[in-house]
Structure 1
Amino acid sequence: MTTISPSRRAAGRFVAALLAGILTLFVAATPARAHNGLRSASPARDATLTRAPTEITLEFMARLDPTLTTIVLTDGTKRRVPTGDPVVSGATGNVQVTGPLPNGRYTVAYRVVSADGHPVQGSYPFTVADPAGPAAAPSPDPPGPSAAAVAPGRGGGRATVVGVTGSVVVALLAAAAVLRRRRRQSSRP
């Protein structure tokens, strides 16, 4: 019958506790690393509407900070269309469109901050093509990428790298401690 020395049992418990701690760190940190993103929008991305909308509604995956929510509507010439102030309820933000929307292409741009402090920004186009509406104004060449064209819910790679790197360092330190303890025990007479 093989017996395991008390020091080996203690080392095994230490390693098991360390691994459980690391696993807990990863599981507990998951919501903090999960970034907010746009879940749905009305009008939808690239939609062609036969009636101009009276409201823009954006639903996100996480609660928004009402004081740090911006929703802007611009026309095909990049002029801002009048809207009301953003109204936030949980994970949804909306603005009332107070100016006229003749036929044409429009862009909804947003910058929001989640309740966890993570900023998200993005933009998307939609078109108004009301058969009874006024003719569309000529629009300039399509714009190039801008700061508002950031894909929602992207980023956060740095947080993941830091978390993984920290966990690897902790695991290496624990392994070094276990090896040092084993060497000391094996060198004793």
Structure 2
Amino acid sequence: MRLGVRLGVAVLTAALALLVPGVPAQAHNTLRSASPARDATLTSAPVEVTLEFMDELDPAFATVVLTGADRRRIATGDPVVAGARSTVQVTGAMANGTYTVAYRVVSVDGHPLQGSYLFTVADPTAGGDAGAATVESHDGPGVGLLVAGGALAALAVAAAGLGWRRRRVGR
């Protein structure tokens, strides 16, 4: 193989090696549904938060935290896990505003999963405001990292092809 082709293959292999370990495995657990739902606007405060996952949960390792936009925790009961579902009873008062549900669970296969989402309480008969929205976080690589890696790989292939073509034309 010519040097340009080998260099292109090496760069492409390095780029793929950097990207592949960062992509979450498809076999791991994911959040199937939630109540209140992500980005929902409720006309009254919920009495419980229920999260349903694709795979069964380990009851010993389930955490669900409810916070207002001021980052203060809203009182809840302990998580009750039944199969792939985790539920907490909301025992604290909730005024109108935006709330964050944050969770960290472990599947029975031992893989942890964490995430968060927002919902809003907009009870027309209640007063108060829990404040502005909080930031949402997710696991896994950012879209920017994946796009940059793909662009780097395409650039390496194009450079290797251009080098091969120049040598071939120069003969």
Question: Which TM-score band applies after superposition, normalised by the shorter structure?
Answer: 0.5 to 0.7
> TM-score scaled by structure 1?
0.58
Q: How does 1:34-113 map to 2 (within 5 A)?
A: 34-113=27-106
> TM-score scaled by structure 2?
0.64
SS at match of 2:88: strand
Unaligned runs of 5+ in 2: 1-24, 142-171
**Aligned amino acid, residue 129 of structure 1:** A
1: CA distance between counterparts of 2:95 and 2:47?
Answer: 12
Q: Deviations over 1:131-155 (max 9, x none)?
A: 001221433xx5456xxx124xx58
Q: Across the two proteins, how many residue pairs are aligned to each other? A: 117
1: CA distance between counterparts of 2:126 and 2:49?
Answer: 19
1: CA distance between counterparts of 2:130 and 2:108?
Answer: 39
Q: Deviations over 1:24-68 (max 9, x none)?
A: xxxxxxxx9611000000000000000100000000000000000
Is 1:132 matched with 2:120?
no
Unaligned runs of 5+ in 1: 1-31, 156-189
The RMSD of aligned alpha carbons is 1.8
Name the structure where helix makes up a greater proportion of residues.
Answer: 1
> Which entry has the higher C-alpha Rg, 1 or 2?
1
Give the number of the structure with larger relative contact order, counting CA–CA contacts within 8 Å between residues 6 or more apart. Answer: 2
Q: Percent identity?
A: 62
Name the structure where strand makes up a greater proportion of residues.
Answer: 2
SS at match of 1:66: strand
Runs of 4+ in 1 over 3 A off after TM superposition: 142-145
